[in-house]
Amino acid sequence: MITRSPIPLQRQAPTPSPGAWQAQLSGAIRDPRELCRRLALDERWWPGAATGHALFEVRVPEAYLARIRPGDPHDPLLRQVLPLDEESRSIPGFVTDPLEEREHTPKRGLIHKYAGRVLLIASPACAINCRYCFRRHFPYDENAPSRAQWANTLDYLHADDSIREAILSGGDPLAASDRQLGWLVEQLEAIPHLKRLRIHTRLPVVIPDRIDEALLDWLGRTRLQKVVVLHINHPNEIDEAVIDACRRLRGAGVTLLNQSVLLAGVNDDVPTLAALSERLFEADVLPYYLHVLDPVEGAAHFEIDDAAARMLVDTLRRELPGFLMPTLVREIPGEASKTPL
């Protein structure tokens, strides 16, 4: 008789203890020089980092820092978080509110641009400050909306039965406390025509311990169907801890999607984009959108022109199964949906 060793069970990582992520969030690096020193970057990067930091502050949690190669100023993860002198240049067409969102906010913290879906700003804060972010100039205060302020927004949702999906956004909605989020989701559940809860977040990538018992508790309990859209731009962002966080989310019945931004010097080549899709699928995540950069002031050095973007995606399509292809889109103010390129 042939004896076989048992099939190894999937490695089961322990669920992080509730709230441990908050210490990681408050311990994030917020000093441009410290960022350079920790990554053994030459002093010539310091002045640029200070200039960019004055425009949009540095924020990098340790768990993300650990995935950056020290001594490499071109590391694709570092490029997403290291401020550069280029950010202070004024480039025609690059503006402070490229999406003109200020015009679509019927209630404070609510954006209703697309049919059937409303976007709710559940937390103005982020766990990481991404240099290309279109919200780098958005007029947020750092406080999460209070329950009294939510009342207005919830009235709006109750009154419009064409709304089937609530999208929690930010900043990063998962920067809010589980007490706040649990309360909010209970309010949303009470709206009979609401079917889906969507969460757009980078936190499970930046601080995987965010997906803890307290979060899984409210997320696992809701009657709403759940979609989490992660925001990952490069395969190096997906380490074992991120894969474990995705597994916990899937265990709570969440459909996982990913959106990326096409960024010069980060992911603007076919091998990187193909590796990203493959790695996402290993984490049980499907690619959703590949956004071209929103023309936000301070981010012009990340731009890829449309012709180059189309060529990249056309080549990528020959390398990947259709279900691993993200849709290349642009957000055009005033349009009724994202616009495919």
Ligand X SMILES: *Cc1c(COP(=O)(O)O)cnc(C)c1O
CA-to-CA dists, residue 179 to 119, 147, 150, 165, 215, angstroms: 20, 12, 14, 21, 9
- Beta carbon of residue 42, minimum distance to ligand X (angstroms, whole number): 39
Nearer to ligand X, 63 or 166 (CB): 166
Nearer to ligand X, 250 or 338 (CB): 338
Give the torsion sign (CA, 246, 247, 248, 250). Answer: positive
**Binding residue (CB under 6 A) for ligand X from 18, 105, 338, 341:** 338
**Binding residue (CB under 6 A) for ligand X from 114, 138, 156, 218:** 114
Contacts with ligand SF4 in 134-163 (CB under 6 A)?
135
Binding of residue 247 to ligand X (CB under 6 A): no
Contacts with ligand X in 127-186 (CB under 6 A)?
167
As given in the structure block, the two tokens for residue 81 are 């978080």
As given in the structure block, the two tokens for residue 288 are 């959703």
CA distance 60 to 202: 12
The 3-state DSSP class for residue 7 equals: coil
Q: Which residues are 255's β-sheet partners?
A: 227
Comparing C-alpha atoms, which of 247, 217, 214, 231 is closest to residue 290?
231
- List all residues 6 or more positions away from 271 whose beta carbon is below 8 Å from its beta carbon: none
**Among 128-136, 242-250, 267-275, 294-302, the segment contacting ligand SF4 (CB under 6 A):** 128-136
133 annotated to bind ligand:
yes
CA-to-CA dists, residue 255 to 74, 196, 197, 199, 227, angstroms: 33, 11, 11, 10, 5
**Residue 114 binds which one of ligand SF4, ligand X, none, with CB within 5 to 8 A depending on kind?**
ligand X
Burial class (CB in 10 A: 0-12, 13-18, 19+), 227: middle
**Binding residue (CB under 6 A) for ligand X from 117, 137, 158, 196:** 117
The answer to whether 67 and 99 are in contact (CB under 8 A) is no
Binding of residue 337 to ligand X (CB under 6 A): yes
**Binding residue (CB under 6 A) for ligand SF4 from 79, 202, 210, 301:** 202
**Residue 242 identity:** V
**Residue 167 binds which one of ligand SF4, ligand X, none, with CB within 5 to 8 A depending on kind?**
ligand X
Nearer to ligand SF4, 194 or 289 (CB): 289
**Among 28-36, 113-121, 184-192, 275-283, the segment contacting ligand X (CB under 6 A):** 113-121
Binding of residue 130 to ligand SF4 (CB under 6 A): yes
Binding of residue 172 to ligand SF4 (CB under 6 A): yes
Binding of residue 129 to ligand SF4 (CB under 6 A): yes
36 annotated to bind ligand:
no
- Beta carbon of residue 272, minimum distance to ligand X (angstroms, whole number): 23
126 annotated to bind ligand:
yes
**Residue 337 binds which one of ligand SF4, ligand X, none, with CB within 5 to 8 A depending on kind?**
ligand X
CA-to-CA dists, residue 207 to 85, 172, 312, angstroms: 28, 12, 30
Kind of pairing between the strands at 117-123 and 254-261: unpaired
Comparing C-alpha atoms, which of 313, 319, 294, 269 is closest to residue 74?
269
Give the torsion sign (CA, 303, 306, 307, 313). Answer: positive
Contacts with ligand SF4 in 226-265 (CB under 6 A)?
231
**Residue 290 binds which one of ligand X, ligand SF4, none, with CB within 5 to 8 A depending on kind?**
none
**Residue 202 binds which one of ligand X, ligand SF4, none, with CB within 5 to 8 A depending on kind?**
ligand SF4
Burial class (CB in 10 A: 0-12, 13-18, 19+), 282: exposed
Give the torsion sign (CA, 262, 267, 269, 272). Answer: negative
User: Which residues are near ligand SF4 by CB under 6 A?
Assistant: 126, 128-130, 133, 135, 170-172, 202, 231
User: Which residues are near ligand X by CB under 6 A?
Assistant: 111, 113-114, 117, 119, 167, 337-338
> Residues marked as binding for [4Fe-4S] cluster?
126, 130, 133
